[in-house]
């Protein structure tokens, strides 16, 4: 792993030259905690992006499945950013026999602060088209979003690492297991297919040609609603946004209202999954203690436990209603959203 953290511009520029590019010498690291990503300027003034995948997270077959999904989407003229092929026709190569890397076009655009009803409708259409392609064939090697991959496995990692203090361990464990029981019940009749998996506003850009999606690093088999909820606000505003995005989505694809019952359960599972993601890298990656200085403290975990319990109670309060975003009893709007609600691998 040391080589992964110590990638230097000389090595990166040499790899670009071997791939047939003519780099000018400009090599700028971009903000990413999960992978190592660099902007390279070429002699003709154009730019490419080099992406080095964190060793041990995805294997070659899994990364190539991500690339294949992107290619499938591109063939259907869906606006996504897909990797550039090497001279041998492959989209992935290997550095020092242990670090996978790829080259990507640099795309210009900005992430939205707010999404208007019309923009949400457009995004809904694009998501439906992504999911239509996603349903055409399954992932065979990438993970499936289920209670094991997004619940029991992350929880076990936290327990084995002794991250959760004894003062709140029992409550954290019991609350998580109750949430996973609710997930198991709610997911039974929900179809799973290839999805983006981490569809928040930071992975949605608006450029010269309109909206497009980036960073499919977390793509997996999962329910369509996983690609909805991180784009939606809470409370009455979220209800209105949901109707806008659905109006576009349903032009291309069906979506059952009952699938929204998963939103707050998925949000709760993300609490646990996010903490496990930090824990798995905290001692091995020098950037993580800096990015998450309070993670190893008791205060962090007591707050996490309290918020997890509040989320569980919210799920119980909303269960049995037609939708989680109810007009008569909407989700509280005063609770501040944090990076955990949206982002995985971007530094502040």
Q: Yes or no: say if 282 and 290 are a contact pair by the CB < 8 Å rule.
A: no
Of 105, 140, 173, the one marking the end of a domain is 105
Asked if residue 112 is part of any domain, the answer here is: no
User: What element of type H or E holds 52?
Assistant: strand 47-52
Which domain does 270 fall in, by range?
117-342
54 plus 154 within the same structural domain: no
137 plus 89 within the same structural domain: no
Q: How many domains are there within the chain?
A: 2
Q: What is the rounded average pLDDT for all residues in the chain?
A: 92
Of 77, 105, 133, the one marking the end of a domain is 105
pLDDT (average), residues 298-308: 98
Helix axes 117-136, 60-75, angle to 10 degrees: 120
209 plus 331 within the same structural domain: yes
159 plus 259 within the same structural domain: yes
- Tell me, what CATH number does 95's domain have? 3.30.200.20
Q: pLDDT tens across 228-238, in order? A: 999 999 888 98
Q: pLDDT tens across 60-116, in order? A: 999 999 999 999 999 999 999 999 999 999 999 999 999 999 999 999 899 988 999
Share of the chain above pLDDT 70, in %: 91
Determine the Cα–Cα distance for residues 49 and 79; give it in Å rounded to an integer: 18
Tell me the pLDDT band of 318, cut-offs 50, 70 and 90.
Answer: confident
Tokens of 113: 């602060």
96 plus 174 within the same structural domain: no
35 annotated to a ligand binding site = no
DSSP code per residue over 235-280: HHHHHHHHHHHHHHHTTTS---GGGGGGHHHHHHHHHHHHHHHHHH
Of 105, 126, 142, the one marking the end of a domain is 105
- Tell me, what CATH number does 192's domain have? 1.10.510.10
Q: How many CB atoms lie under 10 A from the CB of residue 220? A: 24
Beta strand 36-42 with 47-52 is antiparallel
60 plus 128 within the same structural domain: no
Asked if residue 347 is part of any domain, the answer here is: no
Asked if residue 110 is part of any domain, the answer here is: no
60 plus 196 within the same structural domain: no
Share of the chain above pLDDT 90, in %: 86
51 plus 199 within the same structural domain: no
- C-alpha angle 235-238-243 in degrees, rounded to nearest 5: 135
Helix axes 166-186, 298-318, angle to 10 degrees: 30
* Per-residue pLDDT, 108: 86
Catalytic residue among 113, 153, 198, 341: 198
Asked if residue 30 is part of any domain, the answer here is: yes
32 plus 56 within the same structural domain: yes
215 annotated to a ligand binding site = yes
Catalytic residue among 3, 88, 113, 215: 215
281 plus 328 within the same structural domain: yes
Asked if residue 48 is part of any domain, the answer here is: yes
203 plus 255 within the same structural domain: yes
Note if 215 is an active site residue.
yes
């Amino acid at each position: 792993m040391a080589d992964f953290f110590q990638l230097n511009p000389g090595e990166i520029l040499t790899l670009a030259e071997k791939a047939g590019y003519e780099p000018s010498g400009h090599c700028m690291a971009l903000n990413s905690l999960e992978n190592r990503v660099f902007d390279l300027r070429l002699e003709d003034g154009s730019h490419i992006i080099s992406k080095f995948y964190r060793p041990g997270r995805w294997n070659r077959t899994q990364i190539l499945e991500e690339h294949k999904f992107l290619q499938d989407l591109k063939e259907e003229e869906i606006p996504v950013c897909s990797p550039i092929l090497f001279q041998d026709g492959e989209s992935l190569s290997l550095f020092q026999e242990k670090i996978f890397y790829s080259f990507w076009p640099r795309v210009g655009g900005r992430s939205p602060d707010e999404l208007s009803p019309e923009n949400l409708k457009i995004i809904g259409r694009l998501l439906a088209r992504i999911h239509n392609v996603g349903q055409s064939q399954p992932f065979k090697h990438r993970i499936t979003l289920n209670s094991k991959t997004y619940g029991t496995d992350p929880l076990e990692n936290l327990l084995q690492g002794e991250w959760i203090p004894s003062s709140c361990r029992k409550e954290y464990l019991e609350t998580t297991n109750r949430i996973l029981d609710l997930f198991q019940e709610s997911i039974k009749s929900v179809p799973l297919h290839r999805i983006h998996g981490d569809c928040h506003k930071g992975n949605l850009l608006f450029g010269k040609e309109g909206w497009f999606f980036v960073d499919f690093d977390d793509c997996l088999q999962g329910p369509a609603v996983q690609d909805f909820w991180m784009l939606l606000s809470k409370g009455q505003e979220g209800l209105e946004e949901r109707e806008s995005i659905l109006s576009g989505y349903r032009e291309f694809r069906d979506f059952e209202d009952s699938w929204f019952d998963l939103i707050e359960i998925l949000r709760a599972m993300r609490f646990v999954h996010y903490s496990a993601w930090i824990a798995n890298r905290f001692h091995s990656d020098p950037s993580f203690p800096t990015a998450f200085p309070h993670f190893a403290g008791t205060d962090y975990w007591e707050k996490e436990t309290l918020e997890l319990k509040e989320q569980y109670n919210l799920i119980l309060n909303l269960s049995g209603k037609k939708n989680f975003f109810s007009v008569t009893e909407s989700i509280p709007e005063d609770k501040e959203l944090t990076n955990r609600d949206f982002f995985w691998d971007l530094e502040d």
